[in-house]
Amino acid sequence: MALLQIAEPGMSTEPHRHRLAAGIDLGTTNSLVATVRNGIAVCLADEEGRAMLPSVVHYKADGTVEVGRGAMAAQAVDPRNTIVSVKRFMGRGLKDVTHVESSPYDFVDAPGMVRLRTVQGIKSPVEVSAEILKVLRARAEAALGGELTGVVITVPAYFDDAQRQATKDAATLAGLNVLRLLNEPTAAAVAYGLDNASEGIYAVYDLGGGTFDLSILKLSRGVFEVLSTNGDAALGGDDFDHRLFCWILDQSHIEPPSSEDARRLQMKAREVKELLTGSDEAPIRVSLASGEEVNLAVSRRQFEDMTAHLVKKTLAPMRKALRDAGLAPEDVKGVVMVGGATRMPQIQRSVAEFFGQEPLTNLDPDKVVALGAAIQANVLAGNRKDEDDWLLLDVIPLSLGLETMGGLTEKIIPRNSTLPIARAQEFTTFKDGQTAMAFHVVQGERELVSDCRSLARFELRGIPPMVAGAARIRVTFQVDADGLLSVSAREMSSGVEASVLVKPSYGLTDDEIAGMLREGVDHAGDDMLARALREQQVEADRLMEATEYALAQDGDLLDESERTAIDQAFAALREACDGTDHRRIKQCIDALARATDEFAARRMDRSVRSALTGHKLDEIEL
């Protein structure tokens, strides 16, 4: 006897419960959270009605943490413990960080990713980002009136694996379930494309606070296909501020300022840059702690001259992206502008000139990424409606490879490959009796390993001793839909399997994250057990809901004994969920997952077949 309630034929069995989902734009300068309400994407505001949360985190001496506008105010008085633009440090080593000399922070050079020494101890950029995410999470949960099922977090398209992993780790630390990491230009295209129902080739020019992305997309029949992407993960509006800051120092003949005065001048520089978008000249008046007074004026013309090389730096990625897509500027039907920095008139002019058309700016460039992320989050969480039948096909921005003899890179996965993608390559031993082999995984376009980003090193052990050249070691790279890489290696010829899975090494280890989570939980006076139980219950709900749906749709694919086995595992899980033993729930989840594994495979086959024939399910012979 079936233990499940099966819906009547024709009745929708798609779970009707609306799942709470949000899109998060974790920006260099500002962060936003958005959600879909009554079918419309909206940015969620704080109590004072402001949607933008400055991406600033202030670690106070009293042990509390302040994020946003309040923290911003602390910049000038407590610069060392007030972290701005932390996104620039995500997944980055100290040697990759620009403007170290004028940064007020106490950097700690840690393996893989730089850390910051604050009054509250040494902080990883992942932890700092998690503080921002926690505030956005709280904002969303307050506005939506419940716990978030999942979020989509945007990342610059040109982010490498280290930076993506760091972002995902930050979300984990903030207690968020990441449905997908979505590339910022793609998110913007979703927000635009769905509004305008456009078809054709589009370019997205995304100049944020600290990153520059250029993506070329093809829109057709509800498919957003990214053809190529390029950019500069260390170029953004901040650099324009910095240029102006240097100019002020130069013009006013100030001695190297204290970190406090430097912060004041940097804040002034940003203010002046924004002023110059609307006016031809701006005054620069600052009273410094040193007692000096700065009293200057700058014209837009001067500002444009001093930043011309930065604008020019965005041209090469545009050309490269077009070339990779096999297109010319005139093939592009529309250019979407994203990021507050694109408000600068010299940027708009240079983009218009390059593409021979005025760029599209009808959506707020500060909000468009968050809105697109919210739209996608809503669909990924399972709130898809018939009209939401679009698909995003994104690419990997930078090639992935392995180090070979002589410090050279062998590319395994070329840049701009559509995700997800897997590629395997075979290697062999070069010494008789060799039982281990070392691998070095890198990302980048350059030929020399030392010019690429090192992602991971690992060793395959337990290779049976053979003569040189006899072993066949197959290394497989798999990049998932988030753009995250896993690598496995296996010796094929002997039948002996040795396999490793690599999580790149620059970021945080799972243990480190677990430790930080524990710390955070202890701090909040929460209970680890309660959290574990809650997590398993959520997972159990998800699995039961999906199973019910699958049985109602495709139950005919099962014979009686298979059906009974699934029903029993289902009943056991439901019973376990009434209890409070999270381990028992986990066991029952695993049991139900095992029991439905073959069923899932058959269902996938059926979907594939129906896609090919375009026929209704019942017309297909099994």
Binding region for another protein (CB under 8 A): 19, 149-150, 179-180, 220-221, 223, 316, 319-320, 323, 376, 379-382, 389, 391-393, 417-422, 478, 480-481, 539, 542-543, 546, 593, 596-597, 600-601, 604-605, 607-614
Backbone angles phi, psi at 572, to 5 degrees: -65, -40
Best CA proximity match to 351, nearest among 372, 329, 325: 329
Q: Please give the single-letter amino acid code of residue 476.
A: T
Nearest-approach distance from CB 600 to another protein, in angstroms: 6
In angstroms, rounded to a whole number, what is the distance separating the alpha carbons of residues 309 and 306? 8
Our CA angle for 525, 527, 532, nearest 5°, is 145
Catalytic: which of 184, 239, 394, 403? 184
Specify the residue, 112 or 175, whose C-beta has the smaller distance to another protein: 175
| Catalytic (active site) residue 206 | yes
290 contacts 256 by C-beta, under 8 angstroms: no
Q: What is the DSSP string of 70-132?
A: HHHHHTTT-GGGEEE-GGGGTT--GGG-TT-TT--S-EE--SSS-EEEETTEEE-HHHHHHHH
Best CA proximity match to 318, nearest among 356, 344, 345, 373: 356
Specify the residue, 122 or 538, whose C-beta has the smaller distance to another protein: 538
Nearest-approach distance from CB 467 to another protein, in angstroms: 23
134: CB partners within 8 A, 6+ apart: 67, 174, 175
Specify the residue, 274 or 480, whose C-beta has the smaller distance to another protein: 480
User: Which helix H or strand E contains 152, and what residues bound it?
Assistant: strand 150-155
Our CA angle for 7, 540, 504, nearest 5°, is 130
Query: What's the token pair of residue 562?
Result: 């298979």
Identify the burial level of 434 via C-beta atoms within 10 angstroms of its C-beta, where 0-12 means exposed, 13-18 middle and 19 or more buried: middle
Best CA proximity match to 180, nearest among 389, 399, 374, 384: 374
| Catalytic (active site) residue 131 | no
Q: Could you tell me how many residues make up the chain? A: 622
Nearest-approach distance from CB 26 to another protein, in angstroms: 19
| Catalytic (active site) residue 238 | no
Nearest-approach distance from CB 179 to another protein, in angstroms: 5
Q: Is 336 helix (H, G, I), strand (E, B) or coil?
A: strand
Specify the residue, 292 or 388, whose C-beta has the smaller distance to another protein: 388
Catalytic: which of 66, 78, 87, 261? 87
Rounded to an integer, what is the distance from CA 143 to the centroid of its chain?
A: 23
Specify the residue, 288 or 422, whose C-beta has the smaller distance to another protein: 422
Best CA proximity match to 361, nearest among 196, 507, 564, 554: 196
Residues β-bridged to residue 26: 31
- Please state the three-class secondary structure of 458-481 as a single string: EEECCCCCCCCCCCCEEEEEEECC
| Catalytic (active site) residue 87 | yes
Best CA proximity match to 298, nearest among 267, 264, 268: 268
Nearest-approach distance from CB 419 to another protein, in angstroms: 7
Nearest-approach distance from CB 597 to another protein, in angstroms: 6
Residues β-bridged to residue 595: none
Backbone angles phi, psi at 177, to 5 degrees: -90, 115
Specify the residue, 210 or 382, whose C-beta has the smaller distance to another protein: 382
| Gyration radius of the chain over CA positions | 26
Specify the residue, 292 or 539, whose C-beta has the smaller distance to another protein: 539
Nearest-approach distance from CB 316 to another protein, in angstroms: 5
Specify the residue, 76 or 380, whose C-beta has the smaller distance to another protein: 380
Q: Where are the beta strands (DSSP E) in 320-452?
A: 334-338, 391-393, 400-404, 408-413, 421-427, 437-443
Specify the residue, 223 or 530, whose C-beta has the smaller distance to another protein: 223
Nearest-approach distance from CB 14 to another protein, in angstroms: 11
Nearest-approach distance from CB 411 to another protein, in angstroms: 11
Specify the residue, 84 or 381, whose C-beta has the smaller distance to another protein: 381
Catalytic: which of 127, 131, 161, 206? 206
Nearest-approach distance from CB 322 to another protein, in angstroms: 12
- Residues marked as catalytic: 25, 87, 184, 206
